Chain A
Amino acid sequence: MQPVLNPESRNTDYVFLSRWAVSDYEVRRGEIISLVSPKDPNQKIIKRVIALAGDVVNTLGYQNQYVKVPEGHCWVEGDHTGHTLDSNTFGPVSLGLVNAKAVCIVWPPDRWQNLEATLPENRKPLSVSI
């Protein structure tokens, strides 16, 4: 998730995860969420939501160039394109795997900040469902 989290690889950021924010499974584009990895149920990963159900995304190296995100799923990507294991590898993920939303960085103190929901300019979905 560089550069938003862990901008320098040697020290790690601690984030506050809010379970309440996703208790009704309503995530928005650009939010940073934590979810159970679809490949390994013991692993938790933290990614940015790029697209929601019904959106069409231009993928980077997935089996199809363009993917329409199915119902009840979302498309997640790490910010550090090319150095991340995300939906471009395992495809759209079910919202049932989402367990929290990252709200702010709490440690180290000089990095205290809220995490804004922003989409990288070049990773916006091609078409957005209403």
Chain B
Amino acid sequence: MSLRHIFGNSGELFRFVLQTACITHCTWEFVGDFVMCSGPSMEPTLQTNNILMTEHITPRFQRLCKGDIVIAKCPRNPKQYVCKRITGLPGDKVRGHFPGRSQVVPKGHVWLEGDNTNNSADSRVYGPVPQGLVRSRVVCRIWPLNKISSLSE
């Protein structure tokens, strides 16, 4: 095997790896990805260690609806992601921080709540969440295999 042959091959391999990496990155960043969730806040809909398929197109074009389950950055800690259900869109009246007092969701924000109302740190704790923090919308659950189901309306 000549030197040229080896370099020719490795160049091709390098190109293939680079292309694959770029396509994978763009898909995960702009189209959709997989998320493993943990914690009790979305029970009984989602349990710890469920794997979800999400898409990033709906949040990008602001087509989010009430009832969608979304992945968002936690407003209190940007390194952590939370998985909650949208229960209020801008202009909606929601139950606020304090019991018995309602508040209106401001423009550009959404109101997020966990399905497990008693054990969930959500908008009732940190207030409305800017839409810029919403990363993706959950489409379906793909793991465990016996619980595969669509989670979007």
Contact = CB atoms under 8 A, between A and B. Distances in A.
A10 B107 CA distance: 31
B121 interface: no
Contacts of B107: 39-40
Interface string B49-91: 0000000000000100000000001111111000000000000
A95 B75 CA distance: 7
Nearest to B134: A41
B76 A97 contact: no
A87 to B, nearest CB: 13
Interface string A85-103: 0000000011111100000
B73 A94 contact: yes
A42 interface: yes
Most buried by A among B62, B75, B107, B134: B75
Chain A contact-residue range equals: 20 to 34
B96 interface: no
Interface string B8-38: 0000000000000000000000000000000
Contacts of A96: 73-75, 78, 132-133
A33 to B, nearest CB: 13
Given A97-B130, A97-B132, A37 B76 contact: no
B108 A25 contact: no
A39 B73 contact: no
Nearest to A95: B78
B131 A41 contact: yes
B124 interface: no
Interface class of chain B by DSSP: mixed
A41 B76 contact: no
Interface residues of B, number: 18
B79 to A, nearest CB: 7
Given A96-B78, A97-B130, 19 more contacts: A24-B79, A25-B78, A35-B132, A36-B132, A37-B132, A38-B109, A38-B132, A39-B108, A40-B107, A40-B108, A41-B108, A42-B62, A72-B75, A73-B76, A94-B73, A94-B75, A94-B130, A96-B73, A96-B132
Interface of A: 24-25, 35-42, 70-73, 93-98
21 contacts: A25-B79, A36-B130, A38-B109, A38-B130, A39-B107, A39-B108, A41-B130, A71-B77, A72-B75, A72-B76, A73-B76, A94-B73, A94-B76, A94-B78, A94-B130, A94-B133, A95-B78, A96-B73, A96-B74, A96-B75, A98-B78
